[in-house]
């Protein structure tokens, strides 16, 4: 659990490092019409963090609260991620992670086992939700690298 908490705390730094020095053309490049650009990935990671921070707090504050998901592709389209400010979203992501740090610093073993329930009946502990947040950033860091590789391939 300690490893997950430490990596969770470094998530914003990892995202910033992944896009450091990348041109705007590369940030906006989409490898295919139905794939996301790096810019869109950053906005998505932040929107997902907003909802996930809410879920984790609900699990700690309420008794087996109901948790909800969202349609990520619909959010990309309907919220017009292309026109949203990437830097504002990176700052928001960092603030959300920092706001959780005191909670994580004082988390008890009992709290880590508290449960939230999705409408389909799936149950997740706080510990599982935290692990998923770390894995989510890892997955999108890998996606960013794949988009960068695809961009470089078009430049050769």
In whole angstroms, what is the distance from residue 136 CA to residue 11 CA?
Answer: 10
> How close are the terminal C-alpha atoms of the chain, in Å?
43
* Domains contained in the chain, CATH given: 1-155 (1.20.120.450)
CB atoms within 10 A of CB 21: 6
Per-residue model confidence as pLDDT tens digits over 22-58: 999 999 999 999 999 999 999 999 999 999 999 999 9
Per-residue model confidence as pLDDT tens digits over 111-137: 999 999 999 999 999 999 999 999 999
Query: What's CA 151's distance to the chain center, in Å?
Result: 23
Tokens describing residue 136? 């989510």
- Give bridge partners of residue 19 from the DSSP assignment: none
| Predicted structure pTM score | 0.94
């Amino acid at each position: 659990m300690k490893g997950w908490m430490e990596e969770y705390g470094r998530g914003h730094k990892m995202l910033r490092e992944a896009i450091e020095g990348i041109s705007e053309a590369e940030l906006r490049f989409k490898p295919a019409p139905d794939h996301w650009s790096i810019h869109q990935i950053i906005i998505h990671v932040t929107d997902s963090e907003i909802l996930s921070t809410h879920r984790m707090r609900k699990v700690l504050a309420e008794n087996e609260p109901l948790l909800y998901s969202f349609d990520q592709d619909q959010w990309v389209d309907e919220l017009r991620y292309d026109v949203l400010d990437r830097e504002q979203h990176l700052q928001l992501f960092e603030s959300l992670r920092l706001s959780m740090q005191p909670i994580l610093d004082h988390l008890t073993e009992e709290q880590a086992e508290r449960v939230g329930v999705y409408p389909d009946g799936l149950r997740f502990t706080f510990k599982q939700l935290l692990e998923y947040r770390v894995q989510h950033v890892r997955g999108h860091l890998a996606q960013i690298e794949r988009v960068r590789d695809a961009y470089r391939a078009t430049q050769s």
